[in-house]
């Protein structure tokens, strides 16, 4: 804005809706098109904006030292008239038509290329249904969550693959059932192609990778946009969400049985899979940007 340079906006995490028409992505509220719900949504937006202003006080001061004075009470005013593109598929979002004309749904901004090659003990897979579990790459240091997941799968006719990230060591999880494989890092895309369920922190990238493979999700949101992603999983019934604060092995086991035995979740995940393939989000986003910047 200061340089007068054209810019577009990409939401690779779940996009923000500051209008109050739908719940802001940090909340796990269901979408309800009622005056009461919209009032709740607007109050949630106002609370979040004040948090943004307080936490970004230093940044705001630097911007205003340049002579610029954006409307900090309306973060959407920082977006330009050029495309604002989200990798959330339209079919996975809450239904609403209030978006500005420069807002575009695309789909996942990845094609599976450019990933590190990871060693994985493929020979340990037994052919049983795979339950793949990952709590992301940032908020994944709670060993108790992984212990709970392992205990929930222990008695099932399935095989658990847990990717625990860089912070923990497998031995910190403790003894795991015979049907569990625990690694620090797993080839996620390859495993999702074989998986029956994905247990996830509801990070948008992992959820979209699951949907791209038509795999139902069991979401355990932690923070950031994860509550909003989990709310959409519930709304579209591509899986089920569970509260981290009330997580127990027995409850998780019941939810896994529901996902394994009720074909509704698989059917809905595969509907989203077809939508993602048809949308071809990576190419759509590139086309929108090339047109906006006069590159075609």
Q: Mean pLDDT by 10-residue block, N- to C-terminus, for the chain (296 residues)?
A: 93 95 96 96 97 96 94 91 96 91 94 81 96 83 92 96 91 92 94 97 96 98 96 98 94 97 98 96 96 91
What pLDDT, on a 0 to 100 scale, did the predictor assign at position 140? 67
| Overall pTM > 0.85 | yes
Contact 260, 158 (CB under 8 A): yes
What pLDDT, on a 0 to 100 scale, did the predictor assign at position 139? 64
Contact 105, 279 (CB under 8 A): yes
Which residue segments constitute the domains of the chain, with CATH numbers given?
A: 9-107+280-292 (no CATH), 122-278 (3.40.50.2000)
What pLDDT, on a 0 to 100 scale, did the predictor assign at position 296? 78
Residue with tokens 């595969």: 270
What pLDDT, on a 0 to 100 scale, did the predictor assign at position 19? 94
What pLDDT, on a 0 to 100 scale, did the predictor assign at position 142? 87
């Amino acid at each position: 804005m200061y340089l007068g340079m054209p810019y577009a906006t990409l939401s690779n995490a779940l996009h923000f809706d500051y209008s109050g028409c739908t719940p802001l992505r940090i909340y796990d509220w269901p979408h309800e098109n009622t005056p009461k719900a919209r009032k709740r949504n607007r109050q949630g937006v106002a609370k979040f904006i004040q948090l943004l202003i307080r936490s970004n006080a230093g940044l705001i001061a630097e911007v205003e030292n340049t002579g610029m004075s954006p409307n900090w009470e309306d973060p959407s005013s920082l977006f330009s008239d050029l495309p604002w593109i989200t990798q959330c598929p339209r079919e996975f979002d809450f239904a609403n038509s209030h978006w500005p004309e420069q807002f575009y749904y695309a789909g996942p901004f990845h094609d599976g290329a450019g990933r590190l090659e990871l060693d994985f003990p493929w020979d340990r897979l037994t052919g049983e249904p795979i339950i793949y579990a990952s709590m992301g790459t940032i908020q994944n240091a709670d060993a108790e969550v992984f212990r709970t997941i392992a205990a929930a799968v222990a008695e099932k006719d399935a095989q658990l693959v847990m990717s625990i990230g860089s912070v923990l060591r497998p031995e910190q999880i403790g003894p795991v059932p015979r049907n569990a494989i625990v690694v620090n890092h797993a080839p996620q895309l390859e495993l999702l192609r074989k998986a029956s369920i994905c247990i996830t922190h509801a990070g948008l990238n992992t959820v979209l990778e699951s949907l791209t493979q038509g795999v139902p999700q069991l979401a355990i949101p932690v923070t950031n946009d994860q509550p909003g992603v989990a709310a959409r999983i519930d709304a579209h019934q591509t899986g089920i969400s569970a509260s981290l604060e009330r997580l127990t092995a027995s409850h998780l086991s019941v939810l896994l049985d529901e996902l394994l035995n009720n074909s509704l979740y698989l059917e809905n995940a595969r509907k989203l899979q077809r939508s993602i393939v048809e949308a071809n989000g990576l190419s759509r986003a590139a086309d929108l940007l090339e047109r906006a910047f006069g590159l075609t």
